[in-house]
Each structure stands twice: as structure tokens, then as C-alpha cells.
Chains A and B, each alone.
Chain A
Amino acid sequence: MLLIELENISKWFGERQVFENINLKLESPASLAIIGPNGCGKTTLLKIICGLIRPSRGKVRIKLDGQEVGKEAKRAFCSIVAPDLELYEELTALENLEFFTVLRDFKSSRAELNQKLEQVGLKDRGHEPVGSYSSGMKQRLKYAVALSVSPQVLILDEPSSNLDEEGIFLMEKLIENQKKDRLVILATNALKETQYAQQIFRLGN
């Protein structure tokens, strides 16, 4: 069982304060939607949770079965899908998958990797470089990469951006699966997407 605790998280960019004293507790299985107007710091908060941005004050704790996880191991718990985080365009989809799974200690065979592509409907395009993909296909591949390491925490920033109807359907299935026994944290502006989560956290004002 996994527990994420945010303790008095505050963040400033120079003089501008994005948010102050955010306290949050999430225990798996759970799903949380972060909502709020543009510029209220949704993306920043997501990146603080997975450790990509250092908070100006406060602490993020991850506890596995009651034991706090150390700094280095923390990284291995989260996967993130976000519009401003890209994959390697000069590598093929399969190479991208292989690269990230090996780095995160997930030895997968070709067949398994292919199966992961199939889950997001990209099976026949695995050998094409990602640079030739459309933005919707890239988004699908990001899901495949994020989920290929079976993360404890899945972090989604604007989960359905660039996806077509079929893509959204596939994504819903993946989120459904993940939140059964793990954690999903998403940030969104679309009201419809808040339905993916059981809890809602409002940021700003």
C-alpha cells in the first residue's frame, strides 16, 4: 500500500507565489483530479509531487507500507504524461519503450513491448521514428511508456490532449485499470475529465 503526503507545500517563482501551504494525503487505491483556472499552478504541483520541481517550502513524502521511501527510490514510483514532456523523436516507438523500461529495471521482451504498443493502438507503427508521428499518436505513446513500468503513481497533465475518440476510449480504460489498485493524479480543465477521479482538489482562489 502506498501513501503520498504533501506537507505545507509552497512555491514561489521569484516574487510571485504560485500556491501556499498545500496539504494533501492520498492512499492507494485512489484517484485525484486537480482543477483550477489557468496559471494556478496545476502543472507545477504535479511536477512537485513526482520530484521534477523542488518546492520552495514543505515536503513530499512517499510511504510504502508505512515506511518512508528514500530520495533515490522515490523517482521510481511515478510516471508522468504531460504535454510539455516529450519522448525521443529520432528513436522509434519501440526503442523509446525499450530505453525507458531498461532504465527503470523492467526487462521486457520484444513481444511484451509490442503488446504494450497494442494497448494504445500503435502496434503497426512501432518501427517508425516518433518524429513522424502525429501529436495524437505521440500522446498515445507517452501513455504506453508511462505504463510500461507499472508505476505506483500515474500522473497525468491534461490527460486527453490531442487524443481522438478512440484514443480517449483507450485512455479511459487504462486509467480505470490503474486506479483499481494504485494511484492516479490528474490535472485538467475539462469538466468531463474530472469524472475519472473519485476526489477533487481545487487549486487557487
Chain B
Amino acid sequence: MPNRFSDWVTKIITVFKKEIKSEFRTRYAFNSLVMFAVVTLTVLSLAVGQFALTDSVKSALLWVVLFFSSMSGLAQVFIKEEERKTASILKLSALPYHIFLGKFFFNLILLFILEIITVPLFLILFEVRVQTWDLFLAVLFLGSVGLASTTTIIAAIVSKTDLKGTLLTILSFPLLLPVLGISIQGTKVAVTGAPFYSGFAEVKFLFSYIVVMLTASLLLFETVWME
């Protein structure tokens, strides 16, 4: 079918736009996401800001902040559909792939906006001087995509349980550990000023993780969503 692709794009954009619109009006996820990040940053800065930290500790702290902030907000895309009982009509109206990808891109944008606020703040508060910007941004970008892909499918699982939000961290952490570990390493390489190609292994790794996780999510999402 020639129109298959453009059809996919329209549907995914429709879901995405609906998420943006509804988020813009309710601030369901965004406020808690940003506030969580700001609070964590403040706590960290007060606690360890006066010590001279090594680059690897700083990179680890950055990803700890990003990980826990995303845990506080990224599950909302599915939880609100279940809590407000809107999931059923959506199930009848769209194919699972469209819904998953629409919500995945929404989560990704949310995470990017969060980073636009928190990362500069972090760099200032902890006096990080990034040497290799292209590597730093590439790792940040890919690490976020990995974070968003895994969180979105786990959020779909979590939204069907009785505990909801609290489970997200527990379930995501073991799966996200590879992303966090490699992103921390990549960030460290970028901060210490090694050239781009020395972090190329990290970039490749993150890329393959994303491809595998997204494929698996697309295959498994229908099972979760229609449950």
C-alpha cells in the first residue's frame, strides 16, 4: 500500500498533537517533571556542591537527576487514560502502533523540554565545563531517546496495575541500567575533552539499544494495551 506510510504519520501526529494539547491545558506531567528536577538539583547542590567533584561523579549526578525526574512524569501518558477512563474509546479508534509512537514522541519532547531547563542549570551549579559539545549533545540526545522508549512501554504496563506510578521506577531501573551506565560514561568522555570519535562506541551502543527496545515495544505493546 503506497499510502500506508503517510497514513501512519498522520495518525501518529494526531495522537501526539492530542497529548500536547491536553498536556498544555492540564500540565498533568510537566509541572511535576520540572519541579522534581529542580528540587533534586537543589538538594544535590546543597549537599555536595561545595566539594570538588570528579568529572565521573558529575556525569553520574546529571543522569541520576534526569532518571528520577523522568520517573516522576513520563508514566502519565498512560495512567491518565486509564484513570479518566478514556482508554477504551481510544482502543477502538486507533491502531496500537499509532498510539504507542504518538505517546513515545510526546514523552520524548517532554524530556527534551525538561533538559533544556535542567541541563544548563546543572552545568552552572556544578561548574561543569563541557569540552566536546557534539559528543555531549549526541549522548544526551540518544540517552533521552533510550530513556523515553523504555519508560513508555513500562508506563503502559504500570498503568494497568493497582499501584501505578510507584511501580515505574522499580520496573524501569533494571532495563534502563545499560542506558544510564553508557550515558554516564559518554558524558564523562565529553566533559573531559576527548574528541568525538573516542565516544563513538557509546553512541553506537545507545543507538542499538534504542532500535532493539523500540522494536520489542512495538511488538509487545498491543498485548499490554488491549489487556
Instruction: Indicate yes or no for A touching B, C-beta below 8 A.
Output: yes
The chain A residues found within 8 Å of chain B, CB to CB, are 47, 50-52, 54, 72, 75, 78-80, 82, 84-91, 95, 99-100, 102-105, 129, 145
The answer to whether A104 touches B93 (Cβ under 8 A) is yes
Alpha-carbon distance A76/B15, docked complex (angstroms): 17
**B98 close to A103 (CB less than 8 A):** yes
The stretch from B20-28, B177-185, B206-214 touching chain A is B20-28
**Contacts A88-B22, A90-B25, A91-B22; A100 near B84 (Cβ below 8 A):** no
Contact B85 A80 (CB under 8 A): no
Bits for B1-43, please: 1 = Cβ < 8 Å to A, else 0.
0000001001100110010011001100000000000000000
Q: Are A100 and B25 in contact (CB under 8 A)?
A: no
Given contacts A79-B92, A105-B7, 8 further A-B contacts (CB under 8 A): A80-B89, A84-B88, A87-B86, A90-B21, A103-B14, A103-B15, A103-B93, A104-B94
Which B residues lie within 8 Å of A91 (CB)?
Answer: 18, 21-22, 25
Chain A CB within 8 A of B91 CB: yes
A39–B148 alpha-carbon span in the complex (Å): 41
A103–B94 CB distance below 8 A: yes
Contact B18 A52 (CB under 8 A): no
Decide if B26 touches A50 in the complex (CB within 8 Å). no
CB closest chain-B residue, reference A99: B18
Contact A84 B85 (CB under 8 A): yes
In the complex, the chain A residue whose C-beta lies closest to that of B91 is A52
- Report which of B26, B89, B92, B95 forms a contact with A90, defined as CB distance below 8 A: B26
User: Are B85 and A88 closer than 8 Å at their CB atoms?
Assistant: no
Q: How far is the CB of A9 from chain B (nearest CB, A)?
A: 17
- Per the bound structure, the CA–CA distance linking A169 and B95 in Å amounts to 34
Q: Are A100 and B21 in contact (CB under 8 A)?
A: no
The answer to whether residues A86 and B98 also contact, given A52-B91, A79-B92, A99-B14 and a CB cut-off of 8 A, is: no
Q: Which of A75, A86, A89, A99 contacts B92 (CB 8 A)?
A: A75
CA distance A79 to B93 in the complex (A): 9
A-B contact pairs, 15 of them (CB 8 A): A52-B91, A75-B91, A75-B92, A78-B92, A80-B88, A85-B85, A86-B85, A87-B86, A88-B18, A89-B84, A90-B25, A99-B18, A100-B89, A100-B93, A129-B25
Most buried by B among A54, A86, A104: A86
Residues of B within 8 A of A84 (CB): 85, 88
Minimum C-beta distance from A74 to chain B (A):
10
Q: Which residue of B lies closest to A86 (CB)?
A: B85
Asked if A103 contacts B11 (CB within 8 A), the reply is yes
Across the interface, B84 reaches (CB within 8 A) one of A51, A54, A86, A145, namely A86
Q: Indicate with 1 or 0, residue by residue over B159-196, a CB within 8 angstroms of chain A CB atoms.
A: 00000000000000000000000000000000000000
List of B residues within 8 angstroms of A87 by Cβ: 86, 89
The 8 closest A-B pairs by CB, nearest first: A86-B85, A103-B93, A103-B94, A85-B88, A90-B25, A90-B22, A102-B14, A90-B26
Report Cα–Cα, A100/B99, bound state, in Å.
Answer: 12
The smallest beta-carbon distance between A193 and chain B, in angstroms, is 22
B226 neighbours in A (Cβ, 8 Å): 51, 54
